[in-house]
Structure 1
């Protein structure tokens, strides 16, 4: 029996191998392998980073893969979350430049990695440096004449900066620039802080805490100086039918000075201009006026102010009845009858224009160009020879025009 088993062992082994091969072939035939690119790029995960180190170089964030897997596995790979991961372990790395292998993990099996777009990742690690630096605010410009800025008050005098050692070492100061040109009131503002190098250029790649601060700059008026509102003194009446719509003065506030502080403080809160005579004026006016200041008080800057006066006509309305309607563009051999023969017109516009309007300045017509014999409803056309007058409505809004063959009776 043992002799027979020994003689046939080889045959049994070959039969087993053959049966396994047949089974594998059957499985592959039912669920064949497919080799194809993974449909989406795989994000690279950095693990094990020392909190005291920072990556300073720009590196590839994703890789592309080609996998081989049975058809049934592909559907699971493409539908499952984190079915494929690309991991870079830097737990044992220190300061310096490194080529780190990318470990691709396929969590759903069976699957085989055929190729990757990148096998190693170059990373540069630097020491993470944290420092405390004072905040510097650079003021540009000067306040308005007669004003001066006091000491700047900051919500935080210091800022904590952190980042790669090489970048932190480039920072010469932390601050911001504020323009106080022409200001008369206290400055209260939030400003964004910037890290600057020795050339006063921004240094990027750093974290600032706080990133912005509140800045207060008290602005006070010097002794002997005072701001006064400009009051325009007007006399006379504009032309009849017109009205005054606006008076603008530039500057509206002026600064005066006197060595006699009590004299300046005793002034009212305004200063009057020389008299502006508007007698008979019927159009917009622009002029320069001087200011009436007491002796011993001088005006800083321009010695006069610009005054702009707005003048417009008073609006009114006018109704004109019984205006005849004429027919234009009537073809030869045709005559036209209009019903009604006349219309009423409702107008609006500046009173001076309405008061001088003549009937000869108005023409009411209908256009019969190209029309043949028949009955038509036409809209009257109003022509006004005076600009600025508007037609509010016309009654009736349409007229009946009967066109027939015939010879028009000549007017005597």
Structure 2
């Protein structure tokens, strides 16, 4: 009996020893000291002010990250570690730097507990330094789209005309313009706001990683009402007696003007600077400036127009030997009522402007005794129905008189249907 108990005790002790050995085996097998690599850990560059003192800058597009090999007894613990759990730095302070490539040692400032960094003594980061370059450029405003019909966008007013772009010389060399972009499609009022400046290359692509100073500027884009105004050619002096003026006109015959509504409504036509007829002895085309009243502006383009002068040679027409003395050519300004013709009897018409201003020229004996009943201005309303219409003004002048210009050359006509009156009766017999 004692022998049997002793054998059972020995068996129990052997089982305990075996269980402990198995536990040691399992622990060593399932939770070994494991190695793991964490990638893309940002490297913070210290003492970058030494770059500014040396007129240097970090070249753009560099991968300023590193990888760490770590070990720990718990695999799941390692797998849960992230790049943000580590702080690594590279210090530029101890170095005398110039443009080029440098290999800077990395220092681990912070890491999680119970984690060993295996490669901490062999960590370096390669950085590329470039010369810090500055360039001063004019600011360009790129306007796209068109304002509402009848409006015009004038030249933008900028709080600063120039900006400075700075950065790595490799990038600055590609910067060709500093721009602002604005779409004015359909606008009918001024734009005034702050815009961010962009540095772009030759193709208009924005260049990143450069500094534009100032970063923002104030810009006003005036958007004003426009009006098409006819041009009257003014003359001075007289032609030589052997010539008569066949025609004289400006090309173009009208220009768009911007300004306040009141000023535009008061403007009937534009005058040219006087053309001296005494200096003209053949049909010709000359450049002449337009006189723009104060408070108004031309809607783009030049203030110079071409004036076409066509002459008749009286000596050629009548024979050089039989030439008679010819009156000098003069110019006269007139104002006429505009008549509406050929309107359907069922409609009524209202003209936005009932008068037109015109300039005529001819020999003095004809112009001085010009019968105004033979000069007419009319609009043909045949075929028009209800609504708003723009109709050409037709001016007729007698023989021997040259029409130089008339304004307006078109008028707005509103056509409405006549109201039919229905008689009413009061029948008291019922």
- Which category describes the TM-score, using the shorter chain as reference length? 0.3 to 0.5
**Normalising by the residue count of structure 2, what TM-score does the alignment of the two structures yield?**
0.39
Give the TM-score taking structure 1 as reference length.
Answer: 0.41
